[in-house]
Structure 1
Amino acid sequence: MATDYDAPRKTEEEQSEDSIEELKARRHEKNSGKVDEDEVEAAESFELPGADLSHEELAVQVVPKQSDEFTCSSCFLVHHRSQLAEESKGRLVCRDCSY
């Protein structure tokens, strides 16, 4: 929205009157409060905590360890070799865990 910086400024009282008038005008507009969303369709996509997911199947493809990866001995996450902070006694530690 463009602002006319040369226009005379209004006092706070005038601004609050304008905003009340604008709100009243918006109330009478036809589509101001309507939302184009199907409630049933939206509710089906919600995941509730503790929901029973026993009927769901999870398919995961396990990829073998790559030559440029290591598993951190502290957080047990697989990282790229560039994230290796220290190696002592065969223990590999990532940068996040070395602090």
Structure 2
Amino acid sequence: MATDYDAPRKTDDELNEDSIEELKARRADQSSGKVDEDETEAAEGFELPGADLSNEELSVRVLPRQADEFTCSSCFLVHHRSQLSPESTASRLVCTECAA
């Protein structure tokens, strides 16, 4: 790139003024494109294909407790007996994850 050494040079103050003006102009340009839009209102207009589940029924078959299962008294999840913590008592069954 060629440099013109005869051209007048800008001082630091002039450089700072230019950069502040440029920043203000950029900020005005960036904020002019923003639109304040409510996301929930925008999402109400979208319809997904096959998303109407209003007349669908959920049917779940609940199995009875098995002999080799227990319910953890801490996390209330059903676990296999192999996950029973050694620190468990007869009144308080705890899984190995909750006992750790």
Q: Which has the larger radius of gyration?
A: 2
TM-score of the pair, normalised by structure 1: 0.45
Q: Which has the higher helix share?
A: 2
TM-score of the pair, normalised by structure 2: 0.44
Q: Which has the higher strand share?
A: 1
